[in-house]
Amino acid sequence: MSRSQASAPVSAVAAAAAAAPRLSTPVSIVIAVLVTLLALALYSPPVASLVIGLLFNIVGAVAIVLYTIKRVRWLRIRVLRLLLSHTGWAYNPSALTSQILLGLVGLFGGNKPRLWELQSTLPALPVPPLHQTVDKYLKSVRPLLNDQEYATTKKLADDFIRIGGDGERLQNMLLAHRDAEVAKGTSWLWTWWEQIVYLSGRDPLPIYSNWYGLDRIDPVLTSQVGRAANAIVALLKFKRMIDTQSLAPNRVQETVPLCMHQYSRIFGTVRIPEDPVDRLVVHSKSKHIVVMCNNAIYRVDVFHDEGHGVAQLSAHELRVQLGRIIDLQTQSSSVPSDSSEPVAILTSQNRSVWAKQRQELIAMDKINKESIEVIESALFVVVLDTNEPAPETVEELSYEGLHHHGRGYWFDKNLNIIFFKNGRHSMNVDHTWSDASVMVHVMDFVYSVESTADHWTPDVTDVADNALAPPTRLHWHLTPLMRATIAEAHSDYMKTVVPMIDLEVLKFQVFGKDVIKKIGVSPDAFVQMAIQLAFFRMHNEPCLTYESAATVRFNHGRTETVRSCSIESKRFVDAMQASGVSSEKKLELLRAACKSHVKFMRAATNGDGIDRHLLGLRILARGAGIDSPFLADKAMSLPFRLSTSQTPALRMLGGGFAPLVANGYGCSYIVDDFRIWAHLSCFAANPETDVKKFSQLLRSSLLDIYEVCRSDPNLEKLLSTRTYRMLRSQ
């Protein structure tokens, strides 16, 4: 199952666009026109007067047309849809035609569009030409196959794409499917991606699907209930912005709109376990959250009843409610034992197993049914961890976010955000409903709100504390067999899930993207080449590498795969490992590899990737009973041993996820101006992998590549040798 921890809402698309070469600009055209008019004025005043008059008429007519389009909504939407259907600008945004197109899109898109205003203008996710995808695929597997293996794969590919072959038949089926899905207002991939990649999966959600995120770099409070209350307030503010459509849609360079559909599922979403396929349900109109503390689960209403004058509870009122929950937990001896059982641990199991147990719980007693309904319909889950000592280090917070040591997450929910006694927090997020960029955007907003003081004190219109209805504890009526089932699930979790993953966080603070950009390469591509070098040094071979790229330029877009291991990256890695290769040659190969990577990233964000297209063909082949040798080839089943993603978080300490395969690594990284942080993971029991050693090799690879880059005189001026030696010794 793929994971997309990638990018802030616009970063992957914007980065790909920004990397395009500059060919011409409107400024050069304007200068040429002015020079021509000046020459005419000097040598032929009557002709110049005629030309100028004609230009004024043309400009006036164009202005009237543009004004009409901008003022007539239905016409503006249709024109925007037409403009955005041309995707060539993404490959060369600096070209004159691209500049004109982007200028018109910006003009008709408006300065402050509402949340859903531009959604209907988005183009449909394209289906790339079959020959193009197969050609790119062959290039991507070439560095991973020997000559004989590649010859076999090449022959199968040629047979697949021949006229009248399986490929042509499947491509036509995919195009028909695309047209049918577009007619429904969605993309050809959306339902398949959600149903097959996520909801059909039977593996447990922890480790295999959910990802973790961490706190901000510099928390402003150390109070557990204080930080939790402030976060709840900020999350509810974000929800109100969605409900009122005052949240501005994400746009590339404040111009090209991006799909916001995933934002409709931020709050109240739950993945309900069913067999054989889970079901995603959104309760966006809910008025409550769920708070978990020491196995106890509480309902907390976060909006006042009508008549109080204030719709949303203030931070002060939420602190009162959260404090009550912690106080109640010190008096838990009077609570029936069933209500103290860690029922939430059941959500950590195989999806079919949990689906059966959920039905048993519901049938057992109506109290259980009511409790499950409250949890599943909650806007999100807050966990108050009262254990001491509280986690302090980034690694400790990462483990808590990943699995919380079996102390309670309702893994089916969209968001579990946990606060510790020292005020720090982590979160566990279901990957089904959205890609990580959405939650990163939300948390950046939460931290920006937290940095202001206006909501830390009670509003003057707050009701008295004693007028607040206390939190409602949820109860369970369990049979002895169900209690034994819960105990067994908890024991299995502690024995298998908790020790399953080794985590390491590389905190590389020698340099960041500010320096990398001066080398003349993409920061993301630079880090990807370092990852390739580190893996080769670790395992003495290249591997298929997954980097997520956002396709949110398209309606209901999610992600595409960038295959970071390429012919160019292998040449660079081979040169780095060889003796006798000059630094100048290594730098040349680095730039070529980074250029190739950026080209692949740009194509992926533009809907011209490889893996989603091949996925669609495989799904259709399976459904139609077509046994294609090409789709069953060994190269098609090569594992993604490196699963990577850039997290462009502004304030977060990052986050991470488990590897895709048993002998692989997960790598989620942040590239700031002055640092590179990478959350690395591997399966602890696998003898082939060692995340600590991989972290050390990634650090040394970054430094070694930088040493190569210092052969560039421009970079040599950036850092003195003395300063560089000081940094390298850190």
Question: What is the structure's pLDDT at 91?
Answer: 84
**In the predicted model, what is the mean pLDDT of residues 315-344?**
84
Within a domain: 7: no
Residue 309 has pLDDT above 80, yes or no: no
Sheet of 415-419: strand order equals 472-473, 296-301, 288-293, 381-384, 415-419, 425-429, 211-214, 655-656
Residues 117 and 153 in one domain: no
According to DSSP, the residues that pair with 292 across neighbouring strands are 297, 383
Which of 55-59, 259-263, 403-407 is predicted least confidently? Answer: 55-59
**In the predicted model, what is the mean pLDDT of residues 319-347?**
84
- Could you give the 3-state DSSP secondary structure of residue 280? strand
Which position has the higher pLDDT, 317 or 62?
Answer: 317
d(CA 369, CA 371): 6
Residue 670 has pLDDT above 60, yes or no: yes
Residues 410 and 339 in one domain: yes
Which position has the higher pLDDT, 11 or 39?
Answer: 39
**In the predicted model, what is the mean pLDDT of residues 396-421?**
95
Residues 184 and 78 in one domain: no
**Cβ-contact 280, 433 below 8 angstroms:** yes
Q: How confident is the model at residue 65 (pLDDT cuts 50, 70, 90)?
A: low
Residues 341 and 481 in one domain: yes
Within a domain: 253: yes
Question: What is the structure's pLDDT at 326?
Answer: 94
Q: How confident is the model at residue 514 (pLDDT cuts 50, 70, 90)?
A: confident
Within a domain: 137: yes
Instruction: Please give the structure tokens belonging to residue 673.
Output: 């101006």
Domain end, chosen from 85, 102, 121, is at: 121
Q: How many CB atoms lie within 10 A of CB 201?
A: 17
Residues 408 and 275 in one domain: yes
With tokens 């018109």, the residue in question is: 104
d(CA 489, CA 503): 23
d(CA 377, CA 604): 36
Residue 652 has pLDDT above 80, yes or no: yes
d(CA 193, CA 558): 9
**Segment (H or E) for 486:** helix 480-492
d(CA 424, CA 391): 8
Which of 5-14, 46-55, 296-305 is predicted least confidently? Answer: 5-14
Residue 376 sits in a domain of what CATH number? 3.30.559.70
Which of 257-266, 340-349, 399-408, 705-714 is predicted least confidently? Answer: 705-714
Instruction: Please give the structure tokens belonging to residue 186.
Output: 């969605």
Q: Where are the alpha helices (DSSP H) in 223-278?
A: 224-243
Helices (H) and strands (E) in the chain, counts: 25, 18
Residues 183 and 308 in one domain: no
Residues 46 and 149 in one domain: no
d(CA 676, CA 202): 35
Question: What is the structure's pLDDT at 36?
Answer: 65
**In the predicted model, what is the mean pLDDT of residues 114-126?**
95
**Cβ-contact 38, 110 below 8 angstroms:** no
Average predicted confidence (pLDDT) for the chain: 88
Within a domain: 15: no
Domain end, chosen from 121, 143, 166, is at: 121
Which of 348-357, 371-380, 433-442, 466-475 is predicted least confidently? Answer: 466-475
Please state the pTM of the whole predicted model. Answer: 0.89
Catalytic-role residue among 261, 304, 431, 455: 431
Residues 296 and 395 in one domain: yes
Question: What is the structure's pLDDT at 330?
Answer: 74
Question: What is the structure's pLDDT at 3?
Answer: 41
Residues 337 and 358 in one domain: yes
Residues 559 and 675 in one domain: yes
Q: How many CB atoms lie within 10 A of CB 417?
A: 23
Residue 686 has pLDDT above 70, yes or no: yes
Question: What is the structure's pLDDT at 372?
Answer: 99
Q: How far is CA 714 from CA 102, 253, 709, 728, in A?
A: 33, 29, 10, 19
Which position has the higher pLDDT, 25 or 397?
Answer: 397
Within a domain: 446: yes
Instruction: Please give the structure tokens belonging to residue 46.
Output: 């009557």
Within a domain: 173: yes
Domain end, chosen from 121, 142, 175, is at: 121
Total residue length of the chain? 730
Q: How confident is the model at residue 86 (pLDDT cuts 50, 70, 90)?
A: confident
The number of folded domains in the chain is 3
Within a domain: 397: yes
Q: How confident is the model at residue 50 (pLDDT cuts 50, 70, 90)?
A: low
d(CA 434, CA 5): 10
DSSP code at position 463 = P
Half-sphere exposure for 113 (CA within 13 Å, toward CB): 26
**In the predicted model, what is the mean pLDDT of residues 30-41?**
61
Question: What is the structure's pLDDT at 75?
Answer: 76
- DSSP character string of 499-520: TTEEEEEEEE-S--HHHHHHHT
**Cβ-contact 510, 700 below 8 angstroms:** no
pLDDT tens-digit profile of 192-231?
999 999 999 999 999 999 999 999 988 888 899 999 999 9
Does residue 455 carry a catalytic annotation?
no
Residue 292 has pLDDT above 90, yes or no: yes
- Could you give the 3-state DSSP secondary structure of residue 429? strand
Residues 492 and 508 in one domain: no
pLDDT tens-digit profile of 597-614?
999 999 999 999 999 999
State which residues form the domain around 618. Answer: 130-194+503-729
Residue 710 has pLDDT above 60, yes or no: yes
pLDDT tens-digit profile of 180-203?
999 999 999 999 999 999 999 999
Question: What is the structure's pLDDT at 6?
Answer: 34
Within a domain: 577: yes
Question: What is the structure's pLDDT at 170?
Answer: 99
**Cβ-contact 406, 345 below 8 angstroms:** yes
Which position has the higher pLDDT, 18 or 191?
Answer: 191
Question: What is the structure's pLDDT at 202?
Answer: 97
Angle, helices 11-18 vs 583-605, to 10°: value is 120
d(CA 611, CA 593): 20
Residues 233 and 260 in one domain: yes
Question: What is the structure's pLDDT at 615?
Answer: 98
Question: What is the structure's pLDDT at 727?
Answer: 53
pLDDT tens-digit profile of 560-581?
999 999 999 999 999 999 999 9
Residue 17 has pLDDT above 50, yes or no: no
Question: What is the structure's pLDDT at 98?
Answer: 83
DSSP β-ladder status, 279-282 and 269-272: antiparallel
Residue 485 has pLDDT above 80, yes or no: yes
